[in-house]
Amino acid sequence: MAPHANDSDGSATGIAVEQVRESGNTGFTVDSPNVTYTPETMQAKYTYRTTSVGFNNGQYKASPKESKYDFKTERKVGKVGVMLVGWGGNNGSTVTAGIIANRRKLEWETKEGPRAANYYGSVVMSSTLKLGEDTTTGKDVNIPLHSLLPMVHPNDLVIGGWDISKMDIASAMDRAQVLEPTLKSLVRKEMAQMVPLPSIYYPDFIAANQEDRADNVVEGSKASDKHVEHLRKDIRDFKSANGLDKVIVLWTANTERFADIVPGVNDTADNLLQAISNGHEEVAPSTVFAVACILENTPFINGSPQNTFVPGCIQLAEKHSAFIGGDDFKSGQTKMKSALVDFMINAGIKLTSISSYNHLGNNDGKNLSSQKQFRSKEISKSNVVDDMVAANNVLYKEGEHPDHCVVIKYMPAVGDNKRALDEYYAEIFLGGHQTISMFNVCEDSLLASPLIIDLVLIAELFTRIQWRKDGEQDWKSFHSVLSVLSYMLKAPLTPPGTPVVNALAKQRSALINIMKACVGLEPENDMTLEHKLF
């Protein structure tokens, strides 16, 4: 199997696909009058039950509420491509090698013995959910998450993208120093033929220490209509050259500094488009990519912590009914924090201080050694406990919040093996204290790469799901801001005016239960009354 070579017109390279899984077979059917199947779609009637709460005469009044919805999911997945911004970085080269290794079912030797390709770390590919109980034994029946609805298999993704470095992806893989030499030797020939497209480069938005990489850039150092049209053409060419039904674009490039929100510049859709035309200095490269994708109706996901989705960008996405999602991959330290803080506060333990220290030696760490870029990361890491604290008014009075400090240092010697040290200091019964110290060593790109896969697979799935209220005729898509991606992201983007959820268990539950609603199944339920009421 040979990869697509670079076309003479400079179109993006990609990984060839031998077979596209289009059967729509999920491995089970739902036997219910509320669920119907056709060769093209599956439709489900679903009753959504919530509780409305009012406050009157000094007490709360809770009222059960029901809303009826129809969900329709296209069963045909089609041929899907993913274009990575920063394809030649640690994450881009690692996820490319991983997909090739899985597609070819590769095995290789390590100092610890033989290893085989897998998708460990992907919630879609390597986690399960409870489908129900076995009618004979009464035991739980668990199925892989990816079999709940028809989803693209990552082995079938066609990969391409952009980078400010013209280094081929095999050489970029060597530069990243992430993978075992024996594995690299097995995928090198294929990846050496993959060369990223030139990217846009605005030096003011990333650290000056990245300048030596910038040898593959589109002319111009500020936003412009020309840049937007250039990127739109790249997407169209990639889609056409590879015979794709749809493309997902994901930013896995350097962390940018925060863009200032300036009235009249990036506060509305029209102002943002005009600011791009005017070459305004507060329009970031990632925002230009997002605008190009929105205008092409191509989902765009931001895997870095900067404020790519300024208000005008979100408004533009809503105007064009285009999907966007972000921000910042949630892989190691922050994922542990969002799980541990949720556990402690739910256990009635009052966290009063959280201190997080990181050091890493990859290019992400080098870029973050610049204060403006570090500030973007600091913000995304610092806000991950807010909703959990706000949910417990017994432990925390209004305005009260744990002290929270985040430090990141660049240490080249440790490479991609990031060190994360955390201390959680809490108040317990009768003025006592508990301290939990955690030391987390994580191979950064090997945790982040499966998240890229999850984000692409879930975003693609939601391009095929529509809904309507019971009794309505017209079908609608989900909101442009794909908050269902929150489980994979440190600073989840939500529709304007809606709450942000950072608690890890709630994020996963929301994703699974929405997917279950699309096949007419009830939400995850751990009551197990059948085993408690005799």
Would you name the residues annotated as active-site residues? 328, 377, 418, 490
Strand 433-443 and strand 465-469: the pairing is: unpaired
* SS3 (DSSP) at 466: strand
How far is residue 506's CA from residue 510's CA, in Å, rounded to a whole number?
A: 6
> d(Cα 68, Cα 66) in Å, to the nearest integer?
7
Tokens 């890491």: give the residue.
381
Q: Which of 75, 100, 96, 94 is nearest to 152 (CA)?
A: 75
Within 8 A by CB and 6+ apart from 377, the residues are: 255, 305, 328, 368, 406, 408
What does the alpha-carbon distance between residue 87 and residue 95 come to, in Å, rounded to a whole number?
9
Strands 350-360 vs 403-410: parallel, antiparallel or unpaired: parallel
Q: How far is CA 442 from CA 176, 237, 393, 414, in A?
A: 15, 37, 34, 11
Beta strand 113-116 with 107-110: parallel, antiparallel or unpaired?
antiparallel
Give SS3 for 340.
Answer: helix
Report which of 486, 484, 377, 360 is spatially closest to residue 421, judged by C-alpha positions: 360
What is the DSSP code string of 173-220?
A: HHHHT-S-HHHHHHHHHHHHT--PEEB---GGGS-GGGGGG--SB-S-
- Contact status, residue 525 vs residue 510, Cβ threshold 8 Å: no
Are 33 and 425 within 8 A, CB to CB? no
Tokens of residue 415, six digits: 């490479």
State how beta strands 246-251 and 80-85 pair: parallel
